[in-house]
Amino acid sequence: MSAERPIKSVVMCADDYAVNAPTSQGIVALCVLGRLSATSVMVHSPRWPQDAPALRDMRERIDVGLHLDWTSAFAKDRGFGQGLGAVMVRAVLRRFDRQAVMDEVQRQLDAFEAQWQAPPDHVDGHQHVQQFAGLREALCEVLLRRYGSQRPRPWLRVSLVAQAGLKAQVITAMGARAFQGWAQQHHWPCVAPLLGAYGFDGSVNDYRQRMQAWLLDVPAQAQPALIMCHPGASAQADDEIGAARAMEFAYLASHDFVQDLRDAGVRLVRGSGHALPVE
């Protein structure tokens, strides 16, 4: 790495903690290795109460936050969730009931805090729902009421995607700029842009090449960017992205990832900006 090159900062966030056992196990293992700086929890998973203790030893090393959920099987089983397409249509047509959404956001935050015994370090969303119209406004109101006087406040992931392609454009179009605007207006900490979006396909080498490109695309700015990932120690049979989880884990646990960080001049940080050692 050239001495003249500025070091860039990235929050490496593993989504879907507690979705299944291999995912939680893989995330904890990567935390031990220092390969992650954040993880986001699916609190309506029945695994959350039993998987929470495994993260507690990592409390000083990573940020642990709420993965707001409206589209998973857990959300559907509870009666409020729908598939991503249906949720996107409801957002575009402004058909969410504000009070009902606020009540559900409160339930998910309560479920997080009941096990973590502390507020979340951050809030993001499963399939980026945190920024969708109708969900975004209700979430922001709850955050102001619940954490507005707290310091530090939970930081927010803004899915302003710094990548080309239709998927990236759709993610950004579903409310990222409005979400970022709210955060700026209320002096709320947020992390953007977002990298790491892909189709959960390809080999370990393909994923490495994608990661190398994402690391090079991290902007040289005072605040960190965020790369989302979805690792798991193995592929669970009923997990539609299980193979991709195992692939991501294999790469992130390898020395190749450490070398790629060094080559790109990138360090891992928590959302608060504290550098993490990468072993």
pLDDT at 278: 61
Distance, in Å, from the CA atom of 82 to the CA atom of 96, rounded to the nearest integer, reads 12
Position 73 in a domain: yes
Residue 276 domain-assigned?
no
Amino acid, res. 45: S
Range of the domain at 136: 8-268
Is 102 a domain residue? yes
pLDDT at 89: 95
CA distance 129 to 76: 14
Q: Is the distance from CB of 71 to CB of 84 less than 8 angstroms?
A: yes
Q: Say what the pLDDT of residue 170 is.
A: 72
Does the residue 273 lie in any domain? no
Q: What is the pLDDT of residue 159?
A: 85
pLDDT the model gives residue 1: 44
Residue-wise pLDDT tens for the chain (279 aa)? 445 566 899 999 999 999 999 999 999 999 999 999 999 999 999 999 999 999 998 998 999 999 999 999 999 999 999 999 999 999 999 999 999 999 999 999 999 999 999 999 999 999 999 999 999 999 999 999 999 998 899 999 998 877 667 666 777 778 889 999 999 999 999 999 999 999 999 999 999 999 999 999 999 888 899 999 999 999 999 999 999 999 999 999 999 999 999 999 999 999 986 666 665
- Rounding to the nearest 10 degrees, give the CA dihedral for residues 125, 130, 133, 137: 160
Record the pTM: 0.93
CB-based contacts of 226, cutoff 8 Å, min separation 6:
10, 11, 12, 13, 157, 191, 192, 193, 194, 195, 196
Q: What is the CA radius of gyration of the chain?
A: 18
* In-domain check, residue 278: no
The number of distinct structural domains making up the chain is 1
Is 172 within the bounds of a domain? yes
Q: Say if residues 114 and 72 touch (Cβ distance below 8 Å).
A: no
CATH code for the domain of 36 = 3.20.20.370
Q: Any idea how long the chain is?
A: 279
What's the confidence (pLDDT) of residue 171?
75
Angle 14-237-227 from CA coordinates, rounded to 5°: 15
